[in-house]
Amino acid sequence: MAVKKFVVGSFDDEAVLFPAVKKVRQAGYKIHDVYTPFPVHGLDHAMGLRETSLHTAGFIYAITGTTTALSFMSWVFTTDWPMNIGGKPHFPLPAFIPITFELTVLFSAVGMVMTFMYLCQMAPFVKKHIFHPRQTDDLFVMAIEVSEKTNAEEVKGFLSSVGAKEINEQTAEAGWWLGRFDREDKVFA
């Protein structure tokens, strides 16, 4: 991850944010992210984010769980250590189903949570730069990435023209890092 320069604008109304996102994209600026106090329906479409593939990952984790449970149990009870339990056959499929189901759910749930954490760059003790202290309280905060080719002043002017209340410029680590907010040294970035 890299340290980048951002122009940050904060909005206090959802109804202003939507057209602003649309205009910023039309103007060709690169939106780093938009932070909202609550899930806003349709914002992902407005920002042009692609459809998530989290559910495909979930399906793959689930069939991994199914295969693990079924193959392990059949190996144990038919090959490794066959036991006579209540006169049932050595491969009692109905008795395997509940455990197979549980392992399917467990694999997909844990796997999807981990994938989600990775995609959103969230984890315990891991930090991300906070653009505005009120971004999870009552402000909608839009961070626009500034490269060498973009004129930061121009972006600021554009943001105020689309209705941003507070505008400033920040230089910050774009990804996640281990460490503390009050110190510069980062264990891993």
Partner 1 sequence: MLLGIGLLTLLIGIFALNGEHGPTRFWAGLLQNSTFFLMVALASTFFICVTTLAHGGWQMAFRRVPEAISMTVPVLSVIVLVVLGFLIFGNKGHIYHWLHPEGDRILEFKSPFLNAGFVSTMTVITLALWSVLTIKLRRMSLAEDTMLLDQEGRKALIWKGTVWCGLFAVVYALSMGSTTPWIWLMSIDAHWFSTMYSWYTFASTWVSGLSLIALFVVYLKSKGYLEMVNEEHLHDLGKFMFAFSVFWTYLWFSQYMLIWYANMPEETVYFQPRVWGEFRPVFFLNLVINFVAPLLILMKRSSKRNYTLVAFMGGLIIFGHWLDFFQMVMPATVKHLHFPWFELGIGLGFVGLIIYLTAQQLAKAPLTPKNHPYLKESIVHHT
Binding residues for partner 1 (CB under 8 A): 41-42, 55, 59, 86-87, 94-95, 97-98
Q: How far is the CB of 66 from partner 1 (least distance, A)?
A: 12
Q: Looking at beta carbons only, is 17 or 139 nearer to partner 1?
A: 17
- Find the shortest distance in angstroms from Cβ 2 to partner 1: 35
Nearer to partner 1, 101 or 118 (CB): 101
Considering the complex, state which of residue 87 and residue 133 has its C-beta at the smaller distance from partner 1.
Answer: 87
Distance of alpha carbon 186 from the chain centroid: 22
- Count Cβ atoms below 10 Å from residue 4 Cβ, excluding itself: 17
DSSP string, 84-111: -STT--SS-HHHHHHHHHHHHHHHHHHH
Decide whether 99 or 130 has the Cβ nearer to partner 1: 99
Secondary structure letter of residue 76 according to DSSP: I
Rounded Cα–Cα distance for residues 181 and 5 (Å): 18
**DSSP annotation of 118:** H
Determine the angle formed by the axes of helices 14-26 and 152-161, rounding to 10 degrees: 140
Least distance (Å) between residue 167 CB and partner 1: 31
Q: How far is the CB of 138 from partner 1 (least distance, A)?
A: 24
